[in-house]
Structure 1
């Protein structure tokens, strides 16, 4: 499976290996939908793409799945910030934001990502504990047979 995940409290680390194509993008979106619907607006998503490469088909799959979705959770990316991917993410951030600025951030490692996410909640004056389970948009997985709990190594 090109996408795996590890839950760390309210943060979930999604590790992507190989091509981030349409299959991997949909796998990621399915896992993220399950986690978001479980954790709610307290979710901090960390995408570790150090061992992946992004394809146009993967970006289109993300765009299609999130085209009408508006959410307000921080997302940290670990990996090479290629210009096409960075531009795509800035556009996606604008389209999906619910007023909070700078929800997406490129970082160097998981610890830095967790620190940035914690700081994001503080800077935006969001009480993370009050947001647990509070889901403001319904995101359905394409593959509902996935497990409801995040996998742990």
Structure 2
């Protein structure tokens, strides 16, 4: 009886955890934010076996936003305003709306929504960026 009860408990526990039965897992990052000149928003994905990435973004204002997808090892390069750090398939420069979807083979990466002037000198006339987005990794 104990074995049967323990088996039933393990089965219930496994079925309540995404991916336990071998099914696909989906991880979401979704929000609506306002970015000033030196602000950004990041979605971090840590795990393994990512095969698909979907990014949807809309701007509710007149200002565009940069979308970058960077692997963990390139994150510091982006933070220091470096170059050649993002995956070109999942990059949008000066975008007011984007829909990107495709295959990805990274186990730790970031999707970044960056104010276009974040590496420029501070300028009080720089407009804010208002966006809403949804990122899905599976």
Query: Structure 2-normalised TM-score?
Result: 0.34
Greater helix proportion: 1
- Higher RCO structure (Cα 8 Å, ≥6 apart): 2
Structure possessing the higher radius of gyration over alpha carbons: 2
Query: Structure 1-normalised TM-score?
Result: 0.31
